[in-house]
Amino acid sequence: MPIRIGTFIGLISIIISFILVVFGFLKLFPLFIATPLLFMSIFFLISRFNNRNRFKGFKNA
């Protein structure tokens, strides 16, 4: 199963934002910037997985 580019970007952004949150706990990066980035990257990845196999209805020919 190939990894799609959106899923790959989501995983990379979660890893980067988690590292920024750790830096925020160490007072090397602002925590009020790092935590929303982590939330948005997790939200992006979950929304990518949620919209995959959605039923779009029957087509009226």
Q: Is residue 55 part of a domain?
A: no
| pLDDT score at 2 | 60
Q: Is residue 56 part of a domain?
A: no
pTM, rounded to two decimals: 0.78
Q: Give yes or no for residue 33 having a pLDDT over 70.
A: yes
Residue 31 within any structural domain of the chain: yes
**Is the four-CA dihedral 32, 35, 37, 40 of positive or negative sign?**
negative
Residue pair 48/10 in contact (Cβ under 8 Å)? The answer is yes
User: Does residue 9 belong to any structural domain of this protein?
Assistant: yes
Residues 6 or more apart whose Cβ sits within 8 Å of residue 33? 20, 24
**pLDDT of 1 over the 60 cut:** no
User: How would residue 17 be classed by pLDDT, with cut points 50, 70 and 90?
Assistant: very high
Q: Looking at per-residue confidence, does 38 or 58 come out higher?
A: 38
Residue 24 per-residue DSSP state = H
